[in-house]
Chains A and B, each alone.
Chain A
């Protein structure tokens, strides 16, 4: 589906991305070239996904390579800004450690001196949410700084009071580079010039993705009405809408939908033609305004599916919240106005509730866990309950489309948070393509990035305003839901847990351009594909790290997860990974890689033997005519 020539609105493809010299690099150079950008690439094998403490094996051959990783290795265009000796890092698990801190325009690097095994902390500045100076000067004349991070940890450092009062503390320097946007600097992703063998910006192309789904067809067309983002500035330029609604009418529908986010196609069932469409809330208001065009439009969506004479509208919000939105001009579809439509509220709470829930979760997992009340504490965060409601909503959508053969319309208030969660999860359940590594990237590019999930606002890249009410862990919650699915269907996903963790790490790291900006329009304006590297370039250049060896290609199967709280688990491998006492006991990631190698080897041997059999039976067919022959079915691998 990667069509090099196809031009989507993201702008021209980088011609430099496939640099010819890359292929001629020796393998060792190449591996180092690919590895460094990860915040945790080297530690993934020895301590699973938590890189904080790196234990150096004493006598293994690996030692040699690992020792390099304990030194700061700068990325292309990464520049060291400041270095400070004798800084104390108060590790909540191993106690105070003294060492050297280096701050570059990308990261904070702490190396403990004189300790065996050596201890290294490598923190991309993008994960820093806030830096606070704690207390005044203590008796020893120390100044202490706390770093609150977006990835479920807090770090505390202290160093001696500066003798030279004019010299800035290293943490003042850090603040400047941790919040480049607030300080008029550039996010590091724009400077990072790494070249990868794969070009991630080519992963998603809207036209070919629609084509994969069979669009355009007799009921759905692709419209260019938003080519210049005039209809809706948070939607992509390419959208699929019902055939019989002309562009002019789309504009009138847009007037009735919040932020102009009209119902557009997310997914179509290949057999029943039942569809998942997404939009924002209708602008009903206190007076119960109606729009003939909008009603006609939804009717057209329903008519596009001949299997059913009903349409389900899933409003992700609790009904109370939906009603309250009428005061602000919004609201929900009344069943009087929309004939044959049934409105269902999914009771998923808003971004503020979710933010608060994750904050509570952080409180109970970092740094210490209270064993005796762990489960009730977990319950009191309601985090799993929110996960459950989102999964339950997605399940209902998937069930209606698959079993009920009914088309559904999904919206919340603006249609870029809960709606994105619901549609993308339902699509994961319905379509095996999205459960592959590339398919998942397409899913994120389509449902999240192109349809305008406001990553910049929700994450607050490089912005020091940590109290911003627009920040919310909506995307984390979605990835958590995906992880829950992978737990229940361990063989249905081509990617592994490390893939999901890596995505979340680089959601914050600001190393790649993928999650920058709020909409396709902004990304185009900032020339993100031209000026930054895609996360998918990095991932697709070393797929073996992210591949699930147990994957079986069940592309035609629909996954119906159990959404009871009894079958959901806290994603320990992400939320509690900083705690060294939570490390998995067995190197699962390493073993999975061995499995992949084994599989590839077996495949090779099958091919060899098959060739041999073919050769031999050709030569000896006359003498051994009577011997029973075994039909050989070619076996596919998914490596």
Chain B
């Protein structure tokens, strides 16, 4: 039943609490530990220490929290003294609010009376630590303080246990964390999938997306159903209706890794966003192929295609890796190395990381593409050599800017499924969870999250998700537990979960526990997707992931952009049929060899006529005018004037901020930075709202509901406090309960983050409110 005994690591000294420890080994069904730690199925408490205090960050209200520290094979858990008794019936949460997954720990440092020491699995301690500092990969720093009353043995034991358990001894080996996770497979596999989002996994999912965007002229092709055409592309993709599957099959060879132009999104004005890998140049272009290549590239717009080259202006994966490494080193303020950047060099050192430069260039590129798409009647094709890094960033940023749906939590999750997870971003290699592939490591996804945060901080009220959600996503990306991140392509994900009928040798170090009768083994239960938030976050924390947004009627998609009245756009689309422009470094050009098949000699056929004419020079200024929206200083946010206006970020130096809530969490010296959130202390507005609700409830309870119906009218000046008329005669208390709930949301919007200043958070409390 338990495999805890299999992994033998020596505990140097058996503490007096060995009995308790044995007791704590709970069975698959027992959830609550006798010591107060609700264990997960199969989880084993390895060590614990009592009378430990956890240092709270400003966000948690600052100060210290006393409790018990546990180390299991899966996490370092901290149970506060006065924590409410865990409810045995509640769904278990993998990580409590105060827990750290062993897998996210990067470094263990102890602080003694007058020294600090980095603890490695092999190191021995010559002093009793007073403080235990866990540096995490997600830039958190968690600090525990041992009390003098904590038994020395416990202190030493837990330090050693954590140091030995948290990381693989050699690169590539399976960490204890994953062993533990595997033990929980049963538990993890029976999770329900979130039905509110589009997973983009089935053909129906893609149909739904085409329909949502009003993308006529496109169909879902299952030509890659068995990943035979391209190993990195998903099973289903959206291609022009005009192209048959048999024709399509010949196209794959013309693109790097078979990543042909695929539809991503349609702008309400009718332009389509495509993405593709670079062309295979050393291939013979048959006449029929050329026709199909042209068709697939132009989609349902015969006239104009703009190829946006992503390679030369955006950072390469090694650039991003280097920048992120520098940023980490700068922000973490590591006490074990004592090399910190002096304060007066902070700004230039931050600049020197180039991280902000890179976010700027990604956002700039995405804004340009977003502006181009406003033109209507064209396809904009993002082209990157491999189509698996920057095109994920840019295509999803464009959609976040243009599509309000992508700024809701579920919409954003669907977007990430579409443009990252199924599109084959190499999460596994880029994350390098096992430290065995340093060459490929590059936090492209984290760069993207930073870009989204920049947009969020400039338009806080236009997003339904909050920066807490972005932070949760940021932290989850560091946990090697989610199927979303533990594979490089959809194919790998599928092979893991399905019995493909052949012996599967993992490519990148993921070892399945060896089973003697491999053939008869049922398929591995799938790992959970990252979107299963209740695995990690309590209901309370999840409630902070979203905020109400004012309802702006979504612009209706225009069919083929025919209703488009804007002159710029019409000008742009007046181009000669079949014009292709390259957009690179902010300028449009039409190099002869842009489409390799066109440059080839001896082209004949239907397209020849249009090729002979040089592309109309008029269309270039038309396109450029589309871009000029970016530089035009307009009145801030006037959504009524142009519902299709994308959220364009300000990109000047002073406008890009550092995501402090994320990168500065670890800077212990700066923990006083304050926007504490505390559930106990309410803002007066909230108190007022609660008061109104309470009084209203009391009035209805008094049994004269007719008065309640007047409430909206009473409010005067047209502001309705309750979203609907309260029930005339509440039949059940539940009905009466409903109205206040809706109301609460409304209020949260009113004085919540929606009213934020541009880059700052105006939370409703100062730190001092918590001190009292």
Contacts and interface: CB of A to CB of B under 8 A. Distances in A.
Nearest to B689: A602
B702 interface: yes
Interface string B518-531: 00000000000000
B758 A586 contact: yes
Given A489-B766, A491-B763, A581-B633, A632 B351 contact: no
A585 interface: yes
B205 to A, nearest CB: 33
B11 interface: no
B546 interface: no
B768 A567 contact: no
Interface in B631-651: 631, 633-638, 647, 649-651
Contacts of A365: 654
Contacts of B472: none
B405 interface: no
Contact of B351 (A376, A562, A570, A637): A376
Contacts of A561: 672
A453 B672 CA distance: 32
A570 B652 CA distance: 13
Interface string A570-602: 101000100111111111100110010011011
A550 B755 contact: yes
Interface in B714-749: 714-717, 719, 721
Interface string A606-635: 101110110010001000100100101001
Contact of A566 (B346, B755, B763, B764): B346
Contacts of A595: 685, 750-751, 755
Contact of A592 (B675, B719, B755, B771): B755
A635 B343 CA distance: 44
A355 to B, nearest CB: 20
Contacts of A47: 635-636
Contacts of A591: 461, 754-755
Contacts of B698: 613, 630
Nearest to B771: A557
Given A375-B653, A490-B763, A576-B654, A557 B768 contact: yes
A602 B344 contact: no
A387 to B, nearest CB: 12
Given A490-B675, A605-B714, A606-B688, A371 B652 contact: yes
B762 A490 contact: yes
A612 B699 contact: yes
B766 A581 contact: no
A325 interface: no
Contacts of B707: 612
Interface in A240-298: none
A168 interface: no
B650 A370 contact: no
A580 B755 contact: no
Contacts of B343: 388, 564-566
B768 A605 contact: no
A195 interface: no
Given A565-B343, A581-B633, A587-B637, A599 B688 contact: yes
A401 interface: no
B351 A582 contact: no
Interface in A466-512: 487-492, 497
A609 B651 contact: no
Contacts of A610: 695
Contacts of A632: 691, 694-695
Contacts of B762: 490-491, 550
B760 A487 contact: yes
B669 interface: yes
Interface size, A (range):
35 or more
A65 interface: no
Nearest to B707: A612
B769 A616 contact: no
A373 interface: yes
Interface residues of B, number: 85
Given A55-B635, A637-B684, A564 B348 contact: no
A638 to B, nearest CB: 7
A636 interface: yes
Interface string B317-348: 00000000000000000000000000111111
A84 B100 CA distance: 71
Contacts of A373: 351, 653
A566 B692 CA distance: 42
Contacts of B687: 635
A32 to B, nearest CB: 22
Contacts of A587: 636-637
Interface string B224-260: 0000000000000000000000000000000000000
Contacts of A490: 675, 757, 760-763, 766
B61 interface: no
Interface stretch (A17-25, A169-177, A377-385): A377-385
Nearest to B455: A585
Nearest to A55: B635
B460 interface: yes
Contacts of B691: 606, 609, 632, 635
A552 B766 contact: yes
Contacts of A609: 691-692, 695-696, 699
B347 A379 contact: yes
B707 to A, nearest CB: 8
A558 interface: yes
B66 interface: no
Given A374-B654, A554-B766, A572-B654, A635 B634 contact: no
A606 B692 contact: yes
A372 interface: yes
B667 A566 contact: yes
A372 B638 CA distance: 30
Contacts of B350: 375
Contacts of A375: 347-348, 350-351, 356, 653
B701 to A, nearest CB: 7
Interface string A533-576: 00000000000000001101010111111101111011010001
B503 to A, nearest CB: 53
B704 to A, nearest CB: 8
A374 B356 CA distance: 11
A564 B635 contact: no
A635 B694 CA distance: 13
A627 B701 contact: yes
B99 interface: no
Contacts of A554: 766, 768-769
Contacts of B638: 57
A135 B342 CA distance: 46
Contacts of A378: 347
Contact of A491 (B654, B669, B756, B765): B765
A373 to B, nearest CB: 7
Nearest to A373: B351
A603 interface: yes
B655 interface: yes
B688 A635 contact: yes
A565 B346 CA distance: 7
Nearest to B457: A585
Given A564-B670, A587-B636, A609-B696, 19 more contacts: A93-B633, A372-B653, A373-B653, A379-B348, A488-B673, A490-B762, A556-B772, A564-B669, A565-B344, A565-B346, A584-B636, A584-B758, A585-B636, A587-B637, A588-B757, A591-B755, A599-B751, A602-B689, A606-B695
27 contacts: A57-B638, A374-B653, A375-B653, A376-B351, A490-B675, A490-B762, A491-B763, A491-B764, A557-B768, A558-B768, A559-B768, A562-B670, A565-B343, A581-B650, A582-B650, A582-B654, A584-B757, A586-B758, A591-B754, A592-B755, A599-B688, A599-B751, A601-B717, A602-B692, A602-B721, A630-B698, A632-B695
Top-10 shortest CB links A-B = A374-B653, A557-B768, A580-B633, A375-B351, A609-B695, A379-B347, A376-B348, A490-B762, A602-B688, A375-B347
